[in-house]
Structure 1
């Protein structure tokens, strides 16, 4: 009985994930979180430095927000992905070279994935399912050109 509910939850999650740019939003949010974690300055130091120090925390927070909003509101993915790419590129200057390149790359890849996602595209068929469908179809004859 517990297996049935976990299968239902897994199926519901797959359906939810297929209806939005999941990997793009997730990578964008993870990139922003990684950059935030590499920031070591205390808030007193940031306020003393000024807007440059504040931007070091603000831009990664915008990246996380854009990633989460891409997941919650996939209809606005183009705006969030463009804003996410701009914030990601801004972290190159403000946040330890974009979180030592890791957060920068995660943010750029996530934004590009979110931008390129198409909502009306058929979901991909997994390798196992393709194999099952091929076996169920039986032997096929060679197609002549």
Structure 2
């Protein structure tokens, strides 16, 4: 490599880190992580044995298969939030419902740990929204060439509105005064 090629000298860990940050920013990453982390204790505790010296304490219940199914579904929903984020609202609601169902079925929701993690993950998934697309001047870091073509209607200067966009903006009903609501008639006294 020559010293003139600056792009080639970048360390590969930085490249992977930057790619991961971009990937993570385009999906409900933390929602999926919390949901998967909540599914693990729900699925694990009914099949775990705790050894205290010579005594074995088994956490298994008659609903062990149900808790395994709930845990696996929560882990699957977490991966769905990551890799198919278009159905994030469905996955979030399903995670919340499965977390609630895990309370009576799976050892009080994986001893409340799995319940809380799944509940937070589902709520984060339902509330997550993709970022607004950047305007051309923000993406390039400079000024936009020509008139404000990328600006929404409300932010354009009045001289640049043409055609159907030149129709004046109408105010919502919440902004009308009582006189305007009655057709502009004013009452005397």
TM-score (norm 2): 0.56
Q: Which has the larger radius of gyration?
A: 2
How many residue pairs get aligned? The number is 117
Contact 1:88-1:98 at 8 Å conserved across structures:
yes
Q: Which structure features the higher share of helix residues?
A: 1
Moved over 2 A (4+): none
Q: Which residue of 2 aligns with 1:87?
A: 98
Q: Does 1:33 align with 2:44?
A: no
Q: Which residue of 2 aligns with 1:112?
A: 123
1:89 Cα deviation after fit: 0.7
Q: 1:78 aligns with which of 89, 111, 124?
A: 89
Q: Which residue of 2 aligns with 1:135?
A: none
Gaps of 5+ in 2: 1-7, 50-59, 134-189
1:35 Cα deviation after fit: 1.4
Contact 1:28-1:107 at 8 Å conserved across structures:
yes
SS of residue matched to 2:11? helix
1-structure distance, mates of 2:73, 2:83? 15
1:40 Cα deviation after fit: 2.1
RMSD of the TM alignment (CA)? 2.3
Q: Which structure features the higher share of strand residues?
A: 2
Contact 1:60-1:88 at 8 Å conserved across structures:
no
1:37 Cα deviation after fit: 1.7
Gaps of 5+ in 1: 123-145
1:38 Cα deviation after fit: 1.2
